[in-house]
Structure formats: C-alpha cells, structure tokens
Amino acid sequence: MLDKILILDFGSQTTQLIARRVRDLGVYCEVVPYRSIPEDFSDIKGVILSGSPYSIHDPRSFRIDVQALIDRGLPILAICYGAQLITGELGGTVEQTGLHEYGRTHLSIGSEGAKDPLLRGLSEGTTVWMSHSDSITVLPEGFEVLATTENIPIAVFRSKAAPVWGVQFHPEAHHSEQGSRLLGNFIDICGLEHDWTPASFIDTTVAELREQLGEDKVILALSGGVDSSVCATLLHRAIGDRLYCIFVNHGLLRKGEFDEVMSLYKGLGLNVKGIDAVDYFYSQLDGVSDPEQKRKIIGKGFIDVFAAEAHKLKDVKWLAQGTIYPDVIESLSITGTTIKSHHNVGGLPEDLKFSLVEPLRKLFKDEVRKVGEELGMPHEMVYRQPFPGPGLAIRILGDITPEKVRILQEADHIFISRLREAGLYNEVWQAGAILLPVHSVGVMGDERTYDQVIALRAVTSVDAMSADWAHLPYDFLARVSSEIINTVDGVNRCVYDISSKPPSTIEWE
C-alpha cells in the first residue's frame, strides 16, 4: 500500500487546496469526509483536519472523537476549525471575542515556536491568511502556544505530550507566504519522503492494473479530452491491445477534430474504433432548442452508440472511465449524501454488466497532465483546453442544423487557430465561439445584409469553479473579428463576452 496523509474534511472550501499543496510537495494524500475515518490506519502516516463553514458553537457543527484520533499516536495538523475543535473537545476555550480576522496578517513566532519542527525555517513576521470569527483564548491542559498575531493570542499551538499541532490560519492559501514550508515540515514530522511523482505513479499504477485486470479485456469511451486520453494511454501501457477504445463523432466537434484526434490516438498505438454517428445525432436533435433537452439527448445518444458497439465485442469484462480525484471528492458531501455523480460514462445500461476500472481516480487535473507528459503523449493532447461533452450543441443557442454547425465550426476554427498563432492559447483556460439566435443588419459592399452574430468567449481560471474573462489584446480581437466576418458566410457581426463566473457561467448553455 501507498503511504499517505489523510485529510479529514469538515466542509471547508479549501480542503481540496490542502490536498493540492501536499501533492505538490511530492506526498500522496487522500480526502475523506470527517465521518468516514477509516478503521485501517496501516498506510496512514499523518492526519490533517480541515477548516469548516461552521463555528464549533453551532449545533450543526461537525464533530469527531478527538481523543480517540490522538490516541492513535500519529502526527496531527489541525487547521482553523480543526484547531478550534481540538481545543474545545479537550477542555480549552473557544470564544467569539469580537477580534475577527479575515485576510492577511503577520505571524509572531515565540521562543518555543522558533525551536518547534512545525515552524522550522519560517520567518518572523511572515504573512499568513486568516478566515475566522471565533478565537482560541485558553488552551487545553498540556498544550502550549508557539505563535501569535497582532489580534489573537494563540495562532499556533502544540501538545507537549503528543505530536498534535493547531494553526488558526490557512497554510494552504496562496497568500500564506510560507504555508508550503509549514506543510512540508509537517510531512517531515510524519516521516514521509517527498517522492510521489508522475513517474512513480505510472510505475505503481501499471503494476496494479496488470494485477487487477490479468488477461481480461477492457472497453473505454474516448472523448478526445485529456482525462480519457491519459486514461487510455496508461491502460494501453498496462494491457496493450486488450484495451478497446471507442471514439464517437456526434457531428458537434470542432472543425476537423474527429480526424485529427483519431490520428493522434493511432499515433499513440491505441486500439481505437471511430464511429460516425453524425446523422443519428442530428436526427435526434432536430427541432430541439432547450439546452437541458439537448444535453440529455446527446448523453443518451452516446450511451446508445457505445452500448451497441460494446455488445459487438466478446468477453469484455471491464469498463474504464477517466474519473479524476475532484469527481471522487465531489461525489459525496461531508454528510455522506451524493451531491454530484461522476460525469464520465455514467448511466450505461445495467445489462452491459461491466466491472469498473478508474486508473486516474487519485489524480487532480494538473497531475493528469503531468502523467500524460511522462507517458510521452503529444503536447496538444495533454494541454487541450476543456471542451463540453455535448460539444457545439450548447454553443449554438437554439435548435441545431448542419448549416449552423458549419458556421460555428468555421468561426471557432479561426478563433482557436489565431490564439495559437499569437501565443495566447495556453494563457487562457478555455476559449470558443458561440452562435447567437439573433440576426443583425450589416453592409457588405453596396448590399444590406441580415446575418448571424458570433460571440467570442475566453476565460482565465484555475479549476473552472470561478473564472474571469480573458483580457485579450484589442488588436488581436479586431483581427479575429474582421477575419470571421469577412470569411465565414452567414456572419456579419462579432462580439466579445466580458462576463465573469460567477454570476455568469463559462458556457452559455
């Protein structure tokens, strides 16, 4: 088993960020809801308690048996709410003192703190990021203060008898200048090596897949995106041509994308079958304008086509999915209630009766890309921008027709191509063109036109949970607009979307 740090999630918005920071330091960790503490701790070398949206005084707050966890003898790092929970459960005092702290403040490290392994190497006065309304005013018996801030007397503390630390600030936050150093110190306290890398992940996972799958066959639906592509490449390294890949063309991909991606897949040596289902999808979408209905039709269409192909294969026992770690975390709330199902091939008919294999379920998106690079996959595939599963169907507002798809494919191709040529493609998280359900008056030559409108959308983001509109150069936008209007038949106006998420979404539908 892989040695790891366990992160107990009490509902903080930054719990995933804690995991990302630990992973960035070369150590494997897993996030579990606070009420799902495993019985087997044989591979757990340390525990981190996250923050929470609740005060420990709130009757809705989440609780665990703190003493039982401490009695396991493992190093514990409690962050914000976690620190307050330990304090309150062990007989200390947490009060609403009116000394709230939000945002940046400076850490004053005491004499005991300067000698403590958790704060080793941290500078006096280093900036840390606070977000709390309660304050710890009295520590439990047997605990001592290691650091303070201007407003609170207990910013970092530890137990004198056990390897337990509490910090009132958020070391995982970007604004905590030396937060990664503190987390690295905790990793060292846990006795873990900083050696969890893409290469080590590949070696370990390939060995596990060979043992899990034996001589069995596996089927995988490819989307052209990075997750399913890396999943396929990793499985291919493990089992070769016993992996059967299916790539469906629903006619709503970008211009030339089906042939381009098929060529990339074959260049990787994948056993992939391309299915031309354009006419089927167009017939199903005929006259449909509602965006949710379009999504459902396309989702069901994928399932129907995939199921038909799967039934043609003999003795296939496994279905592979490109599920990644955020899918796993988001699929269960901290109360154990499903809040978001996996977005991959979910919903396949039960009569397919496959067992599920998800080789990327331990990885975040950026880690998936690093694994793809280590596997030698083409850069343009590993760093392909996100593209919605329903494709251009949700970038054509209104009903779908082959002519509308043609117009949007041409406009989108110009936009994306010019982003690449200008060196801007990798500067934005996601970009694309949208065909609006309106016509506008224009003049071309001496003739009046009444043609369609294209909206260009480009955003910057880290994880797509929030996004800002990309501030592309005006001269670049002018050139793209001019080229689209002058070369794409049926378009006489081009606009740029300057909406952020929230309140807007990245996609228009």
How far apart CA 447 and CA 424 sit, in angstroms, is 36
**Whether residue 185 sits in one domain with residue 202:** no
- Cα–Cα separations (whole angstroms), residue 201 to 2, 11, 231, 328, 358: 10, 28, 13, 18, 14
DSSP 467: B
Q: Would 334 be classed as within a structural domain? A: yes
Question: Are residues 210 and 357 both part of a single domain?
Answer: yes
505 part of a folded domain? no
Tens of pLDDT, residue by residue over 48-105, are 999 998 888 888 889 999 999 999 999 999 999 999 999 999 999 998 765 555 678 8
**Residue 422's CATH number:** 3.30.300.10
447: enclosing H helix or E strand = strand 447-460
Give domain status of residue 72, yes or no: yes
pLDDT at 489: 94
Residue 509 included in any domain:
no
Task: Please tell me whether residues 26 and 152 are part of one structural domain.
Answer: yes
pLDDT for residue 244 is more than 60: yes
Instruction: Cis check for the bond before 153: say yes or no (omega within 30 of 0).
Output: no
**Boundary of a domain, candidates 150, 166, 189:** 189
Burial class (CB within 10 angstroms; exposed 0-12, middle 13-18, buried 19+) of 500: middle
Among 161-175, 304-318, 349-363, 472-486, where is mean pLDDT lowest?
A: 349-363
Note whether 204 and 184 are same-domain residues: no
Same domain, 147 and 104: yes
Residue-level pLDDT at 9:
94
Residue 503 placed within a domain: no
Question: Which position has the token pair 């850069």?
Answer: 379
Cα separation, 242 vs 32, in Å, equals 34
Mark whether 251 and 324 lie in a shared domain. Answer: yes
What is the pLDDT, as a whole number, of residue 44? 97
- Of 131, 154, 189, which residue sits at a domain end? 189
Cis, bond preceding 503 (omega within 30 deg of 0) = yes
Do 38 and 70 touch, CB atoms closer than 8 A?
no
Average pLDDT over residues 484-497: 96
pLDDT at 2: 82
Under a CB-based contact definition with an 8 Å cutoff, are residues 12 and 81 in contact?
Answer: yes
* Average pLDDT of the segment spanning 379-402: 92
> Is residue 169 domain-shared with residue 241, that is, in the same domain?
no
- Give the end of a domain, one of 172, 189, 206: 189
Q: What is the 3-state secondary structure (H, E, C) of 181-211?
A: HHHHHHHHHCCCCCCCCHHHHHHHHHHHHHH
- Please report the pLDDT score of residue 314 as a whole number: 85
Q: What is the C-alpha to C-alpha distance for residues 289 and 393, in angstroms, rounded to an integer?
A: 10
Ordered alpha helix ranges (H), 40-128 = 66-70, 81-89, 111-115
> Does any domain span residue 78?
yes
Backbone φ and ψ for 45, nearest 5 degrees, come out as -110, -5
Share of the chain above pLDDT 90, in %: 72
Looking at the DSSP bridge assignments, the partners of residue 249 are 276
154 and 287 assigned to the same domain: no
Distance of alpha carbon 331 from the chain centroid: 13
What single DSSP character describes residue 11? S
Q: What is the 3-state secondary structure (H, E, C) of 236-259?
A: HHHHHHHEEEEEEECCCCCCCHHH
Averaged pLDDT score across all residues of the chain: 90
Model's pTM, two decimal places?
0.79
Look at 2-6, 109-113, 153-157, 265-269 and tell me which has the smallest mean pLDDT. Answer: 109-113
Q: Do 378 and 418 reside in the same domain of the chain? A: no
Confirm whether 502 is domain-assigned.
no
- Residue 343, pLDDT score: 41
Band (pLDDT 50/70/90 cuts) for residue 336 is very low
Worst-scoring range by mean pLDDT, 185-194, 294-303, 402-411?
A: 294-303
Give the domain range for residue 464: 395-496
Cα separations (Å) of 311 from 35, 272, 317? 41, 16, 12
Q: Which of 13-17, 336-340, 498-502 has the lowest mean pLDDT?
A: 336-340
Which CATH number covers residue 262?
3.40.50.620
For residue 243, the Cα-to-chain-centroid distance in whole angstroms is 26
User: Quick one: pLDDT at residue 152?
Assistant: 87
Is residue 373's pLDDT more than 70?
yes
Task: Tell me whether residue 490 is in a domain.
Answer: yes
Q: Which of 301, 303, 293, 306 is nearest to 251 (CA)?
A: 301
Cα-based distances in Å from 397 to 307, 353, 390: 29, 37, 13
CATH code, 110: 3.40.50.880
Q: What is the pLDDT of residues 188-215, one digit of tens each?
A: 999 999 999 999 999 999 999 999 999 9
Instruction: Give how many domains the chain has, as a whole number.
Output: 3
Question: What was the pLDDT predicted at 174?
Answer: 80
Same domain, 60 and 77: yes
Which residues belong to the active site? 80, 170, 172
Q: What is the mean pLDDT of residues 370-386?
A: 93
Same domain, 316 and 229: yes
Question: Does 173 share its domain with 234?
Answer: no
More confident residue, 116 or 131: 116
